[in-house]
Structure 1
């Protein structure tokens, strides 16, 4: 019985996540403000983000501004925390918050 309840909960969670994604991609983002990293200029090749309702975030490359990825608040939080922990570093580095080794 417990396994059936767990399976039903998993299916409900997946359905909710799918619905959230559909709603996120249905948003009209034509008027959002795109932000780049501090110190970069609009004409530079850079990654840009825009804050969306409900804590969601849109991300694009300045090279291909028509291709926009959208992330729920939970997805964006997981990404940012992973980046801070070095999960996406191109070279192996100690997981010390990005600080230089002593």
Structure 2
């Protein structure tokens, strides 16, 4: 499995678990609790990916350019997290503070 696919799968698993199990049980429609749990989910993803690739010099293919692990993970996390949040917001009727 390529490193890019591994990072995408890790991010997908963490966010599906977060939005499918953790947020409905512990946050409901409270925007502040959802934000805190998103922060914790991102810390988990960046810690796992960073522990593997920090200092390795490994580059990742991102569209037409090569980036390091941090930028690849950030773009992938944002690309997966945004649709999850929008679905959750619509599903639970969340309004922004």
Instruction: Give the TM-score band, short-chain normalised.
Output: 0.3 to 0.5
- Normalising to structure 1: TM-score of the pair? 0.31
Higher relative contact order (CA 8 A, sep 6+): 2
- Normalising to structure 2: TM-score of the pair? 0.32
Structure number with bigger Rg: 1
- Of Structure 1 and Structure 2, which has the larger fraction of its residues in strand? 1
